[in-house]
A and B are shown apart, each in its own frame.
Chain A
């Protein structure tokens, strides 16, 4: 986990509304900027966050669209930890087809999880598959 000596942290329940999602994203990225994360790092974090939130609503809450998801984050000088949890039935992350295979390239969906795994230092799902914890480590640490 992270050093609690110098951190920004919060727990949020987000509805599927653009303003709420952007507010959460802005809070995380604002903290990241204050702690010295580069533009490239903030791009990565923002992309992974947006993909995780989209997946939670689109897949996790497709049957319960008015239900909020829970987002937790801790931003420190060493790393940024974000958890996104939905109330859906979950899924098996390893069952998602590889979108970079030739036969999948022209499919319009299925790239979100791959992008999260590429841009974040660590990505962990709980056993049910409805809670994602991802960590971005400050480069060089």
Chain B
């Protein structure tokens, strides 16, 4: 499911909201803000959000995208929900490592692994 303006593909699997990016490059601030707002609305709509964000289609991102992910993570945590990331390209994973965000997020090799990890 996605609106004509959406930059995301959103599906439900095993009571988990699965989010995929439709842009290969999560770069500029405006794009990132729109994505962040859209995911934020999904979090708002759930009492205790269970969300998986897949980076399968992502080749590149910037610190603005990392910031948006942190904001989403903080929001999910505030609602005692669960957020997991998956399918992160090695070069992008390195960005998470460099910024020590691998300790902040639950990151899985694949969507299937992430889905199994949800409580």
Contacts and interface: CB of A to CB of B under 8 A. Distances in A.
A18 B100 CA distance: 29
Given A40-B91, A105-B100, A115-B98, A51 B30 contact: no
Nearest to B61: A47
B95 A115 contact: yes
Interface stretch (B7-15, B44-52, B63-71): B63-71
A34 interface: no
A111 B74 contact: no
Given A105-B100, A105-B104, A115-B98, A47 B70 contact: no
Main secondary structure of the interface of A (DSSP, over half): helix
Nearest to B70: A108
A18 B32 CA distance: 12
A47 B60 contact: yes
Interface of B: 27-31, 60, 62-64, 66-68, 70-71, 73-74, 91, 95, 98-101, 103-104
Interface of A: 18, 21, 40, 43, 46-47, 50-51, 54, 58, 99-100, 105-109, 111-112, 114-115, 118
